[in-house]
């Protein structure tokens, strides 16, 4: 048995682009919701002086994450902004002083055992940097540590264009292994697998130079999409299928993005929380594609200006890659914790394909890694049938876009799946309300 994948263009134009540090912007806008779970609670006010790494919003629940200032300067206002998904969230707007003074309270964290280790990881503000944004300390805070057989480090980076994880593997290799050592020490995990696609031989070589014992293994994987999808990666590294609706822990695994792992290693050494990101700036409209290190909250327009501006008018700009990326409404939106790429497409690349009627070829079903049926989901969505959508398990869709990519009729199947999830949520909510009446 194998999980279905597709072959997509790599377009790794910036793989050899050593990250360049962006000049400090005049202003940053830092949303308090850059993670799965409850938004953080603002703890600063207009006029407050802040420094790099200072807490500006505290976690407001178990599944939440604190937010720290990425710059030194003055809080200009507490605003409300529209995120790319359409939600309105609070944001701390900071006018920078260009000094980048580090907050005085920053020091390497003190961890003595598993509980204190997960606590300091929670305080760092780290979330899954592969795009999901799930608070890392929640993932690591396992009730029974003996359930964890292996930590799988996701270094696949299978989306076209994106090379920020590639640069982590090449530029922060030491910290990846320091992160591994920390998890070994405080969680007692004895086995680690780094999953890397075979189109990154330089990364495989560099990672291999740091392996000193048999506890860490590099698994070279075919360059197929969505190789970095959590369930796909688990199956292709340890040969176990995550059960429907389950988690990797159900098969003894924890999956951590490679840049997240490097951050853990660096944070345990320096104590500097998550305040900046390496972002791949690329796309057919970009004049000088490159990797850019920018403070969280920096407007995307500054990243594009730093990359030479546009050689043609961008018709679509994405957070992330062309397969799973989210279109942004304008170039004022900020770099987020999960932002690994900013892709600007010209008119030709961004033009939506002409859609025709479904020919029932079954390619979407055959290429879905989770064996969902996008055709049936589309019909159930058209009928507004929450009951059928529940039976079809649309909530399991990871929105990888394989169905739309292989569809000869060019139907917007993944977009329909996203909308169908809303129908299902409303159906389940109504069902629960009726039950409680």
pLDDT values of the chain reduced to their tens digit, one per residue, 437 residues: 567 789 999 999 999 999 999 999 999 999 999 999 999 999 999 999 999 999 999 999 999 999 999 999 999 999 999 888 788 999 999 999 999 999 999 999 999 999 999 999 999 999 999 877 899 999 999 999 999 999 999 999 999 999 999 999 999 999 999 999 999 999 999 999 999 999 999 999 999 999 999 999 999 999 999 999 999 999 999 999 999 889 999 999 999 999 999 999 999 999 999 999 999 999 999 999 999 999 999 999 999 999 999 999 999 999 999 999 999 999 999 999 999 999 999 999 999 999 999 999 999 999 999 999 999 999 999 999 999 999 999 999 999 999 999 999 999 999 999 999 999 999 999 999 888 87
Residue 384 lies in a domain: yes
pLDDT at position 132 is 77
Is the Cα torsion angle 320, 321, 323, 326 positive or negative in sign? Answer: positive
* Beta-carbon contacts of residue 220 (< 8 Å; ≥ 6 apart): 196, 197, 198, 204
Pairing of strands 49-50, 73-82: antiparallel
- Looking at 188-323, list the stretches that DSSP marks H as alpha helix, in order from N- to C-terminal side: 201-208, 230-238, 258-270, 300-306
Number of domains the chain contains = 2
Residues with Cβ within 8 Å of residue 269, at least 6 apart in sequence = 108, 175, 178
Q: What is the pLDDT of residue 378?
A: 97
Cβ–Cβ under 8 Å, residues 391 and 373 = no
User: For position 437, what pLDDT does the model report?
Assistant: 76
- Retrieve residue 70's tokens: 């990425």
Domain annotation covers residue 299: no
Asked whether residue 95 is assigned to any structural domain, the reply reads no
Tell me, yes or no, whether 76 lies in a domain: no
CATH code at 264?
3.40.50.11540
Q: Give the residue from 270, 295, 328 where a domain finishes.
A: 270
Question: Are the CB atoms for 408 and 12 separated by under 8 Å?
Answer: no
Residue 403's domain comprises 363-436
Using one digit for the tens of pLDDT, what is the confidence trace for 326-373? 999 999 999 999 999 999 999 999 999 999 999 999 999 999 999 999
pTM given for the model: 0.95
Residue 196, in any domain of the structure: yes
Q: How many residues does the chain have?
A: 437
- Looking at the structure, tell me whether residues 132 and 262 fall in a common domain: yes
pLDDT value of position 2: 61
Q: pLDDT at position 191, please? A: 98
Q: Which of 214, 245, 270 is the last residue of a domain?
A: 270
**367 shares its domain with 265:** no
Same domain, 264 and 376: no
DSSP state of 286: B
Task: Label residue 349 exposed, middle or buried (CB < 10 Å: 0-12, 13-18, 19+).
Answer: middle
Pairwise CA distance, residues 233 & 241, whole Å = 10
DSSP 352: P
pLDDT of residue 284: 97
> Among the three residues 235, 270, 305, which one is the final residue of a domain in this structure?
270
Q: Are residues 367 and 258 in the same domain?
A: no
329 part of a folded domain: no
Whether residue 248 is found in the same domain as residue 370: no
What pLDDT is stored for residue 1 in this prediction?
53
Say what the pLDDT of residue 224 is.
94
* Per-residue pLDDT tens over the stretch 167-224: 999 999 999 999 999 999 999 999 999 999 999 999 999 999 999 999 999 999 999 9
Tell me whether residue 242 is in a domain. yes
- Residue pLDDT, tens place only, 82-93: 888 788 999 999
Based on the domain organization, do 261 and 376 belong to the same domain?
A: no
Q: How far is CA 390 from each of CA 380, 419, 422, rounded to the nearest angstrom?
A: 10, 13, 11
């Amino acid at each position: 048995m194998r999980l279905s994948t597709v072959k997509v263009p790599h377009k790794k134009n910036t793989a050899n682009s050593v990250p360049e540090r962006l000049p400090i912007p005049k202003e940053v806008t830092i949303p308090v919701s850059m993670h799965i779970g409850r938004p953080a609670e603002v703890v600063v006010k207009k006029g407050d002086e802040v420094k790099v790494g200072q807490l500006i919003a505290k976690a407001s629940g178990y599944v939440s994450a604190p937010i720290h200032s990425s710059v030194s300067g003055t809080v200009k206002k507490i605003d409300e902004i529209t995120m790319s998904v359409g939600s309105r969230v609070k944001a701390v707007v900071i006018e920078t002083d260009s000094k980048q003074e580090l907050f005085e309270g920053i020091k390497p964290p003190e961890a003595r055992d598993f509980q204190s280790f997960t606590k300091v990881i929670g305080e760092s503000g780290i979330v899954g940097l592969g795009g999901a944004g799930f608070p890392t300390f929640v993932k690591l805070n396992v009730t029974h540590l003996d359930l964890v057989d292996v930590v799988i480090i996701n270094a696949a980076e299978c989306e076209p264009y994106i090379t920020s994880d590639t640069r982590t593997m090449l530029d922060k290799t030491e910290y990846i292994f320091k992160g591994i050592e920390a998890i070994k020490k405080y969680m007692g995990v004895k086995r680690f697998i780094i999953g890397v696609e075979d189109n990154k031989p330089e990364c495989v070589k560099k990672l291999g130079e740091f392996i000193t014992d048999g506890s860490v293994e590099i698994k070279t994987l075919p360059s197929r999409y969505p190789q970095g999808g959590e369930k796909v990666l688990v199956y292709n590294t340890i040969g176990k299928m995550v059960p429907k609706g389950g988690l990797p822990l159900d098969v003894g695994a924890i999956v951590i993005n490679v840049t997240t792992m490097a951050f853990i290693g660096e944070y345990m050494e320096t104590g500097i929380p998550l305040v900046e990101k390496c972002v791949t700036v690329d796309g057919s409209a970009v004049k000088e594609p490159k990797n850019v290190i920018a403070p969280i909250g920096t407007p995307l327009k500054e990243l594009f200006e730093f990359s030479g501006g546009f050689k043609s008018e961008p018709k679509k700009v994405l957070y992330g890659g062309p397969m799973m990326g989210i279109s942004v409404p304008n170039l004022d939106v900020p770099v987020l914790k999960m932002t690994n790429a900013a892709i600007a497409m010209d008119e030709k690349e961004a033009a939506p394909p002409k859609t025709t009627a479904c020919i029932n070829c079954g390619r979407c079903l055959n290429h879905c890694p989770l064996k969902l049926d996008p055709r049936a989901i589309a019909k159930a969505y058209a009928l507004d049938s929450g009951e059928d959508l529940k039976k079809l398990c649309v909530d399991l869709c990871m929105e990888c876009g394989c169905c739309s990519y292989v569809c000869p009729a060019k139907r917007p199947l993944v977009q329909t799946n996203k909308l169908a999830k809303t129908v299902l949520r409303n159906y389940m909510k109504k069902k629960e309300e009726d039950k409680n009446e």
